[in-house]
Structure 1
């Protein structure tokens, strides 16, 4: 997650994870960069394999739970429970030439502030799918996102390959990030994105139980490969269309190209008549 370089072995693992993700659900047709190497298998305790942080392996499930709809629960108790989907949402309603920009794996104090600054300059809202281990150390950036009107989504705690995990270990990964986000901004995330785009039934069920809709993407900039600022801009231009969801990253490596690319393609999209927005916080 926090290393700026990936070894050939990690890149090979990514390719395997991408194939697994494609098989996991019919709706997800893109490959996402790994923020951390996917675990080969869950540990006997149900936690992440050796690549994950010790807390993710040994800690008991978080006390975070979506409270019952009735009673004297916390403020989020009345949230609508979304239905359990069989595939993630790939695009949004494209009326009014709307597009959605999303950024994964952060927040990272080296790159996220530059992205927030550009979005603020153009009065645009975006979605940030954060990893709990990054969010826990950068809660000020979570609050800045919320203050600017951006939506904060859940991207698990340590970016594992979810279909390789037990249900209990998966719950810990998701709940811990919900908890960090709620503690920082006052409400839990309403959107969830599986690392690598690899979903399975447990991921959809747990996300729904915690009040979150599953969101994938339509346009993958592949910015994690550091292809160059011009290439990232070209990919966004080529994929721009009403309703598309663009995937980029603000952490997990050197994301300076992603920051620079946004400065170019965002005003171009606005000049072309696109309205860059976010979905309703509580669903479609």
Structure 2
């Protein structure tokens, strides 16, 4: 596990946090890890995550992983990206933001489709969902395989009931069962413009939304939790407390941070007489 000033990575096989959630602040980013409730039958944590950021060049890069059977597939992806940290951070530090996103997607595909990586996947036990999220300037982009979730909370979007950016896709994984071994790899990508003002980015594994009684199935509750508090650590701790109260078994990992965008965002033309 690394925990330097601007980089962090972890896999649940290293430390499981069952019954005992951990909340960590990395500068402006909060990382929460909860292994689930032992009384519900949980005995291992197969999540993983990676966080890099650079305040000078104005970007964050995160990966969140939800493996099953074992954490080996999550370990593999964390290791592969850590080995490519210098290469990827150079792409994110390019002056042309559109080139950063374009070349980042290209490099992710090169890695996941490489024969060496696919061979390594065939040797692990189990497979993982994988959500990669990068924020640069006033844009957030994602590369998603599987069912992890990316939220973007902003008052203008909330007024239109928009909270979630990516679509969860079931039966997609990387590992022993590997979408990149198919005739046509299955994944989704996207880029979204941040609105002017406070933007809350949150990525999570599905333990949060598949908790018994589904206390967080409606993202409005998450939105309000952060909107009504200035203490990100306390918000994440209260989320984990509620999951524990509902006897959640599944592992839950959360990465969240706030971006105050000072740049104007797209709005409908003045001649447009309908809502955006």
TM-score range normalised by the length of the shorter chain: under 0.3
The structure with the greater share of residues assigned to helix is 1
Name the structure where strand makes up a greater proportion of residues.
2
Normalising by structure 1, we get a TM-score of 0.27
**Relative contact order, higher structure (CA 8 A, sep 6+):** 1
TM-score normalized by the length of structure 2: 0.28
